[in-house]
Amino acid sequence: MDSSRVVLALQEQEKWRDRRKRVLERIRQLKARRVYFRKELETTRGKIAQFGALLASLKDRAGGRAGARPHGPESLR
């Protein structure tokens, strides 16, 4: 067997090992980002629910008053 072919085969093997390491590292990074964004999404959904409840309570309070002032552009007149 030719020694140059053995050297070439070993170089190819090392190249593919390195490539596999890079690909696995990239997959790990993407999974970590997915976990991070999933947490951010849940936090955001919680805030939306919280502010939605607050808005509903404010609307109920404002709508229950007799002679409530109009909101929006009409209130400027």
Q: Is the pLDDT of residue 67 over 60?
A: no
34-57 confidence digits (pLDDT tens)? 999 999 999 999 999 999 999 999
What is the Cα–Cα distance from 16 to 22, expressed in whole angstroms? Answer: 10
69 membership: H or E segment, kind and range: none
Report the range of poorest mean pLDDT among 12-16, 27-31, 71-75. 71-75
Domain ranges of the chain: 3-56
d(Cα 15, Cα 3) in Å, to the nearest integer? 18
pTM: 0.59
Distance between CA atoms of residues 52 and 12, nearest Å? 59
| DSSP code, position 3 | H
Single-letter amino acid, residue 52: G
Please, are residues 75 and 69 in contact by the beta-carbon 8 Å criterion?
Answer: yes
